[in-house]
Amino acid sequence: MTSIEATTISGTVRGTVEGGVARFLGIPYAAAPFGEHRFRPTQPHPGWSGVRDALQLGATAPAGPYPPVFRDVLPEPVIPGDEILTVNVWAPADASGAPVMVFIHGGAFVNGSNAVPVYDGTAFARDGIVLVSVNYRLGAEGFLKLPGGPANLGILDQVAALTWVRDNIAAFGGDPGRVTVFGESAGAMSVGTLLAMPAAEGLFQRAILQSGAAHNAYSVETAEKIATLVAAQVGLAPAELGQVPPERLVRAHTELLKELRARPDPVKFGEAAAGALVYVPIVDGESLPGRPIDRIAAGSATDVEVLIGTTRDEVHLFTVAGGMTEFVTDAAMTGFVGMLGLPDGAVDRYRAGRPGGAPWEVLSDVMTDQMFRIPAIRLAEAHGRAWVYEFDWPAQGLDGRLGACHAVELPFVFDTLAAAEAMNGPDAPQELADTVHGAWVAFASGRDPGWARYGDARTVRTFGAATETADDPRGATRELWAGVR
């Protein structure tokens, strides 16, 4: 292992080179968002003199722990410190003008970081890509709108990180004109939001959305309801929330989320009652002029190539790891489907797609479509030229009951299977990782990923025990959502 230096607009950083891959960790792209910068739009980093070591992962944003079972399959490092707005960079040691990929992590806008081992970018650098992973403000710090204050601070952090890439990535061997932004779950919803934000225009040319689309955004009215509820949790007025320590706001979110999921009252929670997320981007009319899916349909992402998809059994992660399977009766499943406004016969169509499936499995299929697959299809339809995929290899964790659940594709995308044994088991197929990772590399390099776009034929590439392409898979259930979602 040898050292290597790169000069950014803030100062020079020192990284390491091993096996032909240069690695720089914990580079600040903005000032620490605390003290005078707390609840303010992203501020420039003051810079440094001399050479700054970029040898260790940066601090992680304040966040609460995942539930115990989730922690078993989705380990989440916690690194203390205030300087949380950092990027990690992996690059071919001799890169010049290489394509760039910028990864935005998931975690329901309240968890996650770029320190998760699965997100190691070595394999992308090995294959000619400069990989950048981003930390941004989470929870209240990034998505709570204080009275009279700005909205979408966490998304503005992401815009600042993309601006940092534009201004600095050439120093690491990347081409600022060949940037692909990609994310999973809340990270994909962030990408959907960036596709609709004027401030992000021109900062990337391609986008990949994994298990998230462009439907998750709240009105200012809902944001105000959330601020009032958070304030009630801590016994203050909404205007005083900026005085509350971040750790207390994390606890307030945790308490509020329990109430939201137990009693999702739309009068109390507004749009959050249907989404089961306390924090999402806000349509404030300024940083985000309209709902992302509507902005995309109106042409905001016309110049960006898009790849989008989901896993086959997204919601299995929450039903199985959340211990819900034994509580879902046939009556409960049928009742839930009835509340969604789907046409008569919907339950029978879903049962036909899951022969012999337990009620919780049928319900999981319906919720997967409601929360993930149909929004992804709507984005592909709105964009008009997207490629669509589905990941259908079943995770082996939790006795194999997870199926092709939410987040299962991540170690295949990053080619980091060894870091995900808790979810995927020790024998996850390397050949599938080669295929999926290779498709992402091809797309980021300016080529098509290996199959036809999602047009009139509704072509979808399935990655699973076999990799194959089909037109309009599960079209019978897709049709149920016309005019509903």
Query: What's 395's DSSP letter?
Result: B
Query: Lowest mean pLDDT: which of 103-117, 251-265, 316-330?
Result: 316-330
Q: In whole angstroms, what is the distance from residue 445 CA to residue 62 CA? A: 35
Of the candidates 10, 113, 185, 190, the residue annotated as catalytic is: 185
Neighbours of 249 (CB within 10 A): 21
pLDDT-derived band at 119, boundaries 50, 70, 90: very high
pLDDT tens-digit map of 215-236? 999 999 999 999 999 999 999 9
pLDDT at 397: 83
End-to-end CA, the chain:
52
User: Residues spanned by CATH 3.40.50.1820 within the chain?
Assistant: 1-215+289-314+372-392+404-485
pLDDT tens-digit map of 55-68? 999 999 999 888 77
Give me the mean pLDDT over the 379-394 stretch. 98
pLDDT at 70: 75
pLDDT tens-digit map of 402-412? 999 999 999 99
pLDDT at 400: 87
Q: In whole angstroms, what is the distance from residue 160 CA to residue 433 CA? A: 31
pLDDT at 61: 98
**Is 197's pLDDT higher than 90?**
yes
The phi, psi pair for 439, rounded to 5°, reads -65, -40
Nearest Cα neighbor of 106 from 395, 400, 317 is 317
pLDDT at 398: 82
Q: In whole angstroms, what is the distance from residue 2 CA to residue 179 CA? A: 28
pLDDT at 392: 98
Angle 186-194/153-168 helices, nearest 10 degrees?
70
pLDDT above 90 coverage of the chain, percent = 92
**Is 208's pLDDT higher than 80?**
yes
Provide CB contacts within 8 A for 216, sequence distance 6+: 189, 192, 275, 277, 280, 281
Annotation: CATH topology of 1-215+289-314+372-392+404-485: Rossmann fold (3.40.50)
pLDDT-derived band at 322, boundaries 50, 70, 90: confident
**Is 90's pLDDT higher than 90?**
yes
pLDDT at 108: 96
Asked if 401 and 425 count as a contact pair (C-beta separation under 8 A), the reply is: no
DSSP 163-213: HHHHHHGGGGTEEEEEEEEEEETHHHHHHHHHTT-GGGTTS-SEEEEES--
pLDDT-derived band at 71, boundaries 50, 70, 90: confident
Give me the mean pLDDT over the 194-205 stretch. 98
Q: In whole angstroms, what is the distance from residue 143 CA to residue 227 CA? A: 10
pLDDT tens-digit map of 442-483? 999 999 999 999 999 999 999 999 999 999 999 999 999 999
**Is 72's pLDDT higher than 90?**
no
Asked if 32 and 157 count as a contact pair (C-beta separation under 8 A), the reply is: no
Give yes or no: 406 in active site.
yes
- Against a cut of 0.85, is the pTM above it? yes
pLDDT tens-digit map of 263-306? 999 999 999 998 889 999 999 999 999 999 999 999 999 999 99
**Is 69's pLDDT higher than 80?**
no
Asked if 272 and 218 count as a contact pair (C-beta separation under 8 A), the reply is: yes
Q: In whole angstroms, what is the distance from residue 189 CA to residue 200 CA? A: 14
What element of type H or E holds 215? none
pLDDT at 326: 85
pLDDT at 117: 96
Asked if 319 and 332 count as a contact pair (C-beta separation under 8 A), the reply is: no
Q: Using alpha carbons only, how large is the chain's radius of gyration in Å? A: 21
Nearest Cα neighbor of 4 from 57, 56, 48, 55 is 55
Of the candidates 45, 105, 406, 437, the residue annotated as catalytic is: 406
Q: In whole angstroms, what is the distance from residue 306 CA to residue 294 CA? A: 16
Neighbours of 33 (CB within 10 A): 26
Neighbouring-strand partners of residue 102: 132, 181
**Is 368's pLDDT higher than 80?**
yes
pLDDT tens-digit map of 158-185? 999 999 999 999 999 999 999 999 999 9
**Is 43's pLDDT higher than 90?**
yes
Of the candidates 141, 184, 305, 314, the residue annotated as catalytic is: 314
Give yes or no: 76 in active site.
no
Asked if 210 and 184 count as a contact pair (C-beta separation under 8 A), the reply is: yes
